[in-house]
């Protein structure tokens, strides 16, 4: 069948017009993506928390299969940090997947965030938290929405230039106000022990307070040690945070404990403190601890090159029938630290730290 020449010319004209329209749409969408708009938003959010976000190269936009921004060489440092300061976070690259309607609206919405090979430095994180001005970390007006969650692969957590956690993978569910938000994390400890951590909670913001209700935390490792906690938390900005959690802690070969964790907000003369309480048949722990100092102390206990036994950083008391840390076995451990140490009758000077134990 031969197509008449006028019809053939019409079809060619229509095809050319359709191709031109597609090309114009693609160019328009590319321009609407405006990588600078989204990277500026990220930098502004970081600046509001006294953080400085830098990229090794400008964000690279893509349109298919979905609009996205590719971020290379991600560095996050404290705003007042010097040029040689250790970054809080380093990441090889990241990707922000955006919904199509985000191209046409003023509100910046992220469908999914992916980060590859991030490195988190706990010392830099602690320093940033300690020097955080109260007004620099206010509760946002609304919870940022992430339609399909966050994904992190091949991450690590370091402290004192030594690795604390390796092979960190993290996946989250949808982030939206009033809806259950979940996080699944897996990693390896310094001795190679696999660690699994699951969290869920319902976030809401009202009257300048970020609430996390219906919190559920489950932590397990390969030695059958488990921790299960339930409760709620509030954040009013900066270090003004509180949390109440209760549950059970099962330590392999040591039985079950009643566990309670309370976070007390910082005051003018007191830092943010974590109150940790474990009660078992032969063991009792009741401590007030700076949260990040606790992580450093625990890391020293689990050092595969030799545990470093020291008094916990904080106030309180530890009574344990026995404690096994690496190759060290301790019986009848009793530690009193900080304000828990009783003052002597002969002196009114600040009490010294004391500890009594039997080593084998």
Residue with tokens 């970081």: 46
Residue 166's pLDDT is 92
Residue 237 Rama label (left phi>0; alpha psi -120 to 50; beta): left
Count CB atoms within 10 A of the CB of residue 30.
15
Strand partners, 234: 211, 242
**Gap between the terminal Cα atoms of the chain:** 99
Residue 201's pLDDT is 94
Residue with tokens 């809401």: 204
Residue with tokens 């008391």: 317
Residue 199's pLDDT is 93
H-type helices in the chain, by residue range? 5-33, 35-48, 122-130, 291-301
In tens digits, the chain (360 residues) has pLDDT values of 555 555 555 666 666 556 555 555 555 555 555 667 777 777 887 887 788 888 888 777 777 677 788 889 999 998 887 777 889 999 999 988 877 666 655 555 678 889 999 999 988 887 787 776 655 566 777 777 787 888 999 999 987 788 888 999 999 998 888 999 999 999 998 778 888 999 999 999 888 888 999 999 998 887 778 889 999 999 887 667 889 999 998 877 767 889 998 988 776 667 777 888 888 877 788 888 776 666 666 666 555 555 556 666 677 777 766 665 555 566 666 767 666 555 554 444 444 444 443 333
Task: Render 160-179 in DSSP notation, one character per residue.
Answer: TTEEEEEEEEEEE--B-TTS
- Contact 57/69 with Cβ under 8 angstroms? no
Count CB atoms within 10 A of the CB of residue 131.
13
Residue 27's pLDDT is 55
- Contact 223/214 with Cβ under 8 angstroms? no
pTM: 0.70
């Amino acid at each position: 069948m031969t197509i008449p020449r006028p019809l053939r010319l019409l079809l060619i004209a229509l095809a050319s017009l359709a191709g031109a329209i597609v090309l114009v749409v693609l160019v328009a969408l590319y321009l609407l993506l405006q990588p600078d708009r989204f990277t500026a938003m990220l930098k502004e959010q970081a600046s509001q928390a006294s953080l400085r976000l830098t990229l090794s190269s400008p964000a690279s936009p893509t349109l298919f299969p979905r609009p996205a921004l590719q971020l290379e060489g991600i560095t996050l440092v404290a705003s007042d940090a010097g040029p040689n300061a250790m970054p809080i976070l380093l990441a090889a690259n990241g990707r922000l997947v955006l919904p199509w309607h985000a191209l046409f609206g003023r509100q910046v919405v992220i469908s999914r965030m992916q980060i590859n090979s991030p490195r988190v430095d706990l010392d830099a994180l602690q320093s940033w938290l300690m020097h955080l001005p109260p007004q620099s970390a206010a509760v946002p007006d609304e919870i940022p929405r992430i339609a399909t969650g966050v994904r992190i692969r091949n991450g690590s957590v370091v402290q004192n230039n030594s690795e604390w956690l390796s092979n960190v993978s993290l996946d989250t569910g949808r982030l939206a106000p009033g809806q259950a938000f979940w996080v699944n994390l897996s990693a390896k400890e310094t001795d190679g022990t696999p660690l699994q951590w699951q969290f869920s909670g319902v976030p809401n913001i009202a009257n300048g307070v970020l609430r996390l209700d219906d919190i559920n935390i489950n932590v397990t490792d390969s030695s059958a040690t488990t921790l299960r906690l339930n409760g709620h938390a509030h954040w009013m900005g900066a270090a003004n945070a509180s949390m109440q959690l209760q549950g059970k802690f099962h330590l392999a070969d040591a039985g079950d404990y009643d566990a309670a964790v309370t976070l007390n907000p910082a005051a003018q003369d007191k830092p943010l403190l974590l109150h940790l309480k474990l009660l078992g048949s032969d063991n009792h722990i009741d401590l007030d601890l700076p949260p990040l100092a606790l992580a450093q102390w625990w890391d020293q206990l689990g050092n595969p090159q030799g545990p470093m036994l020291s008094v916990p950083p904080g106030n309180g008391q530890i009574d344990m029938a026995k404690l096994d840390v690496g190759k060290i076995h301790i019986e009848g451990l009793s530690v009193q630290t900080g304000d828990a140490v009783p003052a002597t009758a002969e002196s009114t000077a600040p009490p010294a730290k004391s500890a009594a134990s039997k080593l084998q």
